[in-house]
A and B are shown apart, each in its own frame.
Chain A
Amino acid sequence: MSYGDFLRGEPAIVTAALTGGVHGKETTPNLPETPEEIGKAAAAVEAAGASVVHVHARRPNGERTFETERFQEIDDAIRRYADDVIIQHSTGGTGAPDADRHRPLRTDPPPEMASLDMGPLNRYDHLTSENTRGLVDSLHEEMVDRGIKPELEVFNDGHLNEVHGLLERRDLADPVYATLIFGPGTLARPRPRNFLNAIDNLPEGALFNTLGFGQNQLPFATMGLLFGGHVRVGLEDNVYYRRGELAESNAQLVERVVRVAEELGRPVATPDQAREILGL
């Protein structure tokens, strides 16, 4: 993927990260948490132009869960409300046992996609998402067995090495699809030159998705669009529409990035186009 893809007006896949697992309604009442709320949010972002929804599961009180049954309830709700959106389950989970990290892969039918974190991530002062190579390999193996497309989550430049290492260890179905993540802490510093460096260091032929946290969400999505990439927005990664103003909904964030894409000459991909691009 390149600036040439931008010039050619290749379709851009918009992923909406609807809820996440870190913050909840105590941060913004607009965050969907229940299966019903997530299902309706999925329909709204699909109508706004998203073709993929990135899904975490919550207990009734908003806390995290990795239970297959809860993911199943959410998927059922998404399919009830949305038309054809691609479901992407998170396998992330700070401190959660490796066995729990596999549970989101076991719905019936399985999700078409699932996240695969490429390495560790620090949180607060005392927590780390470890994401060992052993876990990465075992999650990938189950994804292959169940026909799930991995979305390789790259938190920093070291994780670009991990992508190349994963390709040396295992056969990944083409095209490789990596999400480049920019923000504070363990993440790559949100600087334009770091974005350019990251896309230069991806494996040959890999597709990339761009994710900036907080105030970096819109500018990094725009850069992703300019360099032929795909984009992720949503309340998981950013709860503000502009400084000091909470976003009203996930759909509001999707609508904005769709306007930017179309203004730049990148049509947004339909779910069917996204499936074709991703080789689903």
Chain B
Amino acid sequence: MTCPHLEYRDESDGTRFDEARAYCTAADRFVQPMRADVCNDRYDHAHDRHCEIYLEHADSDGAGRSDDEAVNAGAGSGGRTESEVDDGGER
């Protein structure tokens, strides 16, 4: 089972791709490729255990937090911060 917040899109906010890419509808952002493994539950990944944004979103549903708060609370499956980019590659 893939994440219910996962969609494949080729355009968002002026960013367009030739091939549709993973998009997190909870975070309203394209997903980093390694995180797409989590969205798709590939290998030993599971979105409901390993995705920060899914967990935050589930928390917000249960605890009354807004989606915006959940999105802003963490990087999430679609999020990207400069420090995460600095976290570098797979090696």
On A, residues with C-beta under 8 Å from B are: 17, 20-27, 54, 56, 58, 60-64, 90, 92-97, 100, 115, 117, 123-127, 129, 153, 181, 183-185, 213-215, 236-240
Contact = CB atoms under 8 A, between A and B. Distances in A.
Interface residues of B, number: 38
Interface in B6-51: 8, 15, 17, 19-22, 29-38, 42-45, 49-51
Contacts of B8: 61
Given A26-B30, A96-B43, A127-B50, A63 B90 contact: no
B33 A58 contact: yes
B91 A92 contact: yes
Contacts of A215: 86
With most chain B CB atoms within 10 A of its CB, the pick from A54, A90, A213, A240 is A213
Main secondary structure, interface of A, reads loop
Interface of B: 8, 15, 17, 19-22, 29-38, 42-45, 49-52, 74-75, 80, 82-91
B88 A21 contact: no
A184 B35 CA distance: 18
B53 to A, nearest CB: 10
A56 B89 CA distance: 10
Contacts of A115: 91
